[in-house]
Structure 1
Amino acid sequence: MDKLRRVLSGREENEEMGLTAQVLDGSTLSFSTRLKWFIICFAAGILCSILGTALLFLPKAGIKLFAVFYTLGNIAALSSTCFLMGPVKQLKRMFEPTRLIATILVLLFLVLTLCAVFWWNKKGLAIIFCILQFLAMTWYSISYIPFARDAVIKCCTTCLS
């Protein structure tokens, strides 16, 4: 468990912490608390997405509620990882060159979904943007798994050829 804590916090085993780092480390949440809040936030994100999907079939305002809850669910799921690594480290990792395009696409589709529903009043476009949100979030999420993107690309090219 200690090794998992060190990996998630970004510290190596032999790395010594300075006085400032020790003070900041002492004032943060414990690993078990961060893990619990990660699970709670991630589960809330999944629940919002499922609730949004269920609200899709309501007459009149269903598409707006769907878009809002689905987008909030993705934001909650995305921000849940801040509990594991901390918000600053999470933002730094989000914008690393390996996942920069995926991050930009996720954020773009989150905004475009809400624009399609509230400003443009295009229901079909909102659903397309929600699907693209899902795909972008999936691509972004697998960027944290070593060689996962390569395996997905290889699998897709094998299936298509």
Structure 2
Amino acid sequence: MSSTSKTEPFKKFFNKLPGINLPGEISLETNDQIVTSDPGIFQLSRYDRLVLFFICFGISVACFAICFFLFPLLSLKPAKFSIIWSLGSIFFLISFCILQGSKKFMENLFKADRIFFTLCYLSSITLTLIFALVIKITLFVIIACFVQFIAMIWFSVSYFPLGLNGLRFTTSLATSQVEGWINS
């Protein structure tokens, strides 16, 4: 069986999904514009970029899940927690870099309105790893992980389609639910 026949069902599946922008570039909607992908250094096909995106994003989710489910155990070893958390953040960024293409992704990250976020997120990842692996100061590791978590939420809200609207909807729904509990 040839490799093209093995991947054909997946290609058909992705072709049926709405919003994947099929014959051309992959676009990722942000709050103010649509960012399209560039072919990148490795000239990956759209299908290859999607597959690599899901692999890297899956690794990122797995790292975050490990941190979440093993938090009681990992809280005794903050350095191990911070390394796994930082790997999750790195794979999170790599997944979107693969999806959009490195040039477009870097241009988008270093725009004037996102430069503060980019520097904050990248420095928090770097500092977390330095504090955990080199300096080994637990308090600084915890602070850097917290900053990294806040920056990752900021990234998610600003980059995922409908991220800000989804956050507003969730917040208003939670607020109305809490008000309902208080008033009853």
> Is this a same-fold pair by TM over 0.5?
yes
Cα deviation for residue 116 of structure 1 reads: 2.2
Write the distance in 2 (CA, Å) between the matches of 1:147 and 1:75.
20
Matched, 1:10 2:36: yes
Label 1:142 to 1:114 Cα distance change in 2 as closer, same or farther (>3 A).
same
Give the alignment of 1:1-161 within 5 angstroms.
1-2=20-21, 5-6=24-25, 8=27, 10=36, 28-53=43-68, 54=70, 57=73, 62-144=77-159, 145=161, 148=164
Q: Which amino acid aligns with 1:99?
A: R
Cα deviation for residue 91 of structure 1 reads: 0.9
Structure 1 stretches of 4+ moved >6 Å? none
1-10 vs 137-146, which moves further: 1-10
Cα deviation for residue 96 of structure 1 reads: 0.8
Q: Which amino acid aligns with 1:85?
A: Q
1:80-134 deviations in Å (ceiling 9; x for gaps): 0122111111111110112111111001111121222233322233122112101
Write the distance in 2 (CA, Å) between the matches of 1:147 and 1:118.
34
Q: Is the 8 A contact 1:50 1:70 kept in 2?
A: no
85-94 vs 28-37, which moves further: 28-37
Gaps of 5+ in 2: 1-19, 28-34, 176-184
Write the distance in 2 (CA, Å) between the matches of 1:108 and 1:59.
22
TM normalised by structure 1 equals 0.70
| 3-state secondary structure, aligned to 2:135 | coil
Relative contact order, higher structure (CA 8 A, sep 6+)? 2
Q: Which amino acid aligns with 1:57?
A: L
Gaps of 5+ in 1: 12-20
